[in-house]
Amino acid sequence: MASKILKKQNVAPEIFRMEVSAAQIAKKHRAGQFVILRIGARGERIPLTVVDKDLSAGSLTLIFQVVGKTTMWLSDLKEGDEITDLVGPLGNPTEVENFGNAVAVGGGVGVACVYPIAKALKEAGNHLTSIIGARTKDHLILEPEMAAISDRLEICTDDGSKGIHGFVSEVLKRMIERKDKIDYVIAVGPVPMMRAIAELTRGPAIKTIVSLNSIMVDGTGMCGSCRVLVGGERKFACVDGPEFDGHQVDFQNMTARLRVYKEQEDLAREKYQEERKK
């Protein structure tokens, strides 16, 4: 189904926020689910997290970072342009209940994914501590939105330009060392970040969920490209996930799989960059 771009905003270096028409998806979407889009008849399919929805406007809010050809192409589209195909909602919704003291951790564009989950956790009655991080203060996203739904918000930057100078995992480590009561952790971001969070919570046996950003093509489990190892079993992130027990995920295997198409991705990006100059 085609989808029109209603609003577009550059919210950080190489990071864009888009509001797109998708009334039917908006009605059915739940926190933790995602969509897959395609630009052009021969374009590749890429998954994007749904950050927010507006039922009255029949729209979804998406946030993406320019990394490869398709996200570069998407960033070139303007308000009023159409996305050829938008499919969803896909994946399983987040398990939301009142766990007690919940911690939501988002790194980089992972904040876009953790925001609707954190919002749902707060609405379920949890005391919510949110920890968000980015390379610099200019790369931070959704800070006001996260502050509005959190009982406590911690900000980290790799270069120390805002908040705590360091990684989001360091804040959680201090909380654990202080013996703060933590009943549940949700972490979304780069694989090394999610792996570090899972290792921190493994010892104290804190329930920890991660949302995996593995390579996806069809989003129905047919292609097998998004397969991951969880507890020694093969799972498909698109239909079995995208959320899994962080203590059971084989992050080493996932990291290797994310690099499988790197050469082709680099070539496609370079070719598109050349086309842009013409």
- pLDDT, tens digit, 9 for 90 and up, residues 204-217: 999 999 999 888 87
Instruction: State the pTM of this model.
Output: 0.92
What was the pLDDT predicted at 31? 94
pLDDT of residue 206: 97
Q: Does domain 3-90 have CATH number 2.40.50.140?
A: no
Q: Which of 8-17, 174-183, 266-275 has the lowest mean pLDDT?
A: 266-275
Q: Which amino acid is at 248?
A: Q
Q: How confident is the model at residue 278 (pLDDT cuts 50, 70, 90)?
A: low
pLDDT at 183: 98
Whether the per-residue pLDDT at 91 is higher than 80: the answer is yes
**Mean pLDDT to the nearest integer, 156-167:** 95
- Dist. CA 93–CA 158, nearest whole Å: 31
Q: What whole-number percentage of the chain has pLDDT above 90?
A: 80
Domain limits, the chain = 3-90, 101-258
- Per the prediction, the chain carries an average pLDDT of 93
Of residues 224 and 92, more confidence is placed in 92
Has domain 101-258 been given CATH number 3.20.20.140?
no
Provide mean pLDDT across the span 258-278: 78
pLDDT, one tens digit per residue, over 140-159 is 999 999 999 999 999 999 99
